[in-house]
Structure 1
Amino acid sequence: MVESKSLVLDNKQVNQKIRRMAFQIFENNFNEKEIVLAGIKNKGYILAQLLQEQLNEIASFKTRLVGVSLDKEAPTQSNISLDCDEKEVKNKTIILIDDVSNTGRTMAYSLKPFLNIKVKKLETSVLVNRSHTQFPISIKYSGFELATTIKEHVEVLLEKEEKCVYLL
């Protein structure tokens, strides 16, 4: 059986969503001197890089890019870590970023490194929010809200030449 793909967002639309999200982040944090974009590896980190590019064009504050590593399939058995020293994010506004939010599980576990650090504010951002919340995670900045069944799958491509979102 061949899986059928339905294009949800094309390259131009994904770029527009990322730019709009960057403006929303800027509008809600314009008084900050620096914000930390914490991208969940792998695609969340790529999205964080794309948001950083947009924010560097429009915002007056500095942005710091940080990677959050964890095993998405077995987060309770994995080491959840930042690719920087905790002191670098202390007392800062943090935006935790992933490509898709399904149940909120990955976001919830990705908060772990920040629970031992005093942060100024912690917000969340995803390109696609499916809203099948099973964890108490609310997405602050969402590029696209997509109503799906829990069995459907969302595929996000964030390559330089092709950015798009498919529903499988």
Structure 2
Amino acid sequence: MSEVLNHKQVGQKITRMAFEIYERNINSAGVVFAGITGMGMNLALLLAEELKRISPLKVEVLEVILDKTAVSKSEVHLSKKLVLVNKTIILVDDVLNTGKTLVYAMKPFLDQEILKMEIAVLVNRSHGLFPVRPDYTGYELSTTLNEHIRVDVSGNHYSVQLH
């Protein structure tokens, strides 16, 4: 196991991603971070907090609840009802492996009149088995499918580790 990003580096990635989100959505009626259950939700909260600190944008957060171990069989739903009309949805997950989880996580937004949907991930492994590409990436990391990335953005110490 080796550390890929330490606490300070993860914090810097989050700040940079928040600035990019602000730049691309400066004229948006609002930004809704939709964090995927687990570390995706934790990352969404951190990005939302940072975006609120650096911008006047209206920022909201909700959780996309699904079973990551069986996404194709899992019911996908949102933690709360928000008015999403003409807002930017930023779907957030910690790691983009194949894209399958993100594809299923989009489902609750498909029948809504959102302005646009973007994707933010802390680590992009670039395996691309599904046609999903992040708009905001903290770190690009080429790995084999046998290697595992562990992201921890909970508590007071953030890290990204390769196993």
TM-score interval, normalised by the smaller of the two chains? over 0.9
Other-structure match for 1:45: 41
**Please, which runs of 5 or more residues in structure 1 have no aligned partner?**
none
Counterparts of residues 142-161 of structure 1 (less than 5 Å): 142-161=137-156
Report the counterpart of residue 18 of structure 1 in structure 2: 14
Do 2:39 and 2:154's aligned partners in 1 also have CA atoms closer than 8 Å?
A: no
CA deviations 1:34-74 (Å, max 9, x no partner) are: 11000001110000000011001111111010100011111
Task: Tell me the residue number matched to 2:97.
Answer: 102
Kindly report which structure 2 residues correspond to 1:119-130, keeping only aligned pairs within 5 A, or say none.
Answer: 119-130=114-125
2:103 corresponds to 1:114: no
Partner of 2:30: 34
In the aligned structure 1, how far is the partner of 2:111 from the partner of 2:29? Answer: 22
CA distance in 1: counterparts of 2:8 and 2:57, whole angstroms: 26
Q: In the alignment, which residue of structure 2 is the partner of 1:69?
A: 65
Please tell me the residue identity of whatever aligns with 2:104: Y
- TM-score normalised over the length of structure 1: 0.94
Aligned length: 163
Identity %: 47
Cα distance in 2 for residues equivalent to 1:33 and 1:114: 17
Match of residue 55 from structure 1? 51
TM-score (norm 2): 0.97
RMSD of equivalent CA atoms: 0.9
Q: Distance in 1 between matches of 2:144 and 2:72?
A: 25
Q: 1:150 is aligned with what amino acid?
A: L
Question: Secondary structure of the residue that 2:70 maps to in structure 1?
Answer: coil
The corresponding residue for 1:137 is: 132
- Which stretches of structure 1, 4 residues or longer, exceed 2 Å deviation after superposition? none
Q: 3-state DSSP class of the match of 1:13? A: helix
Query: C-alpha separation between the residues in 2 aligned to 1:113 and 1:160?
Result: 29
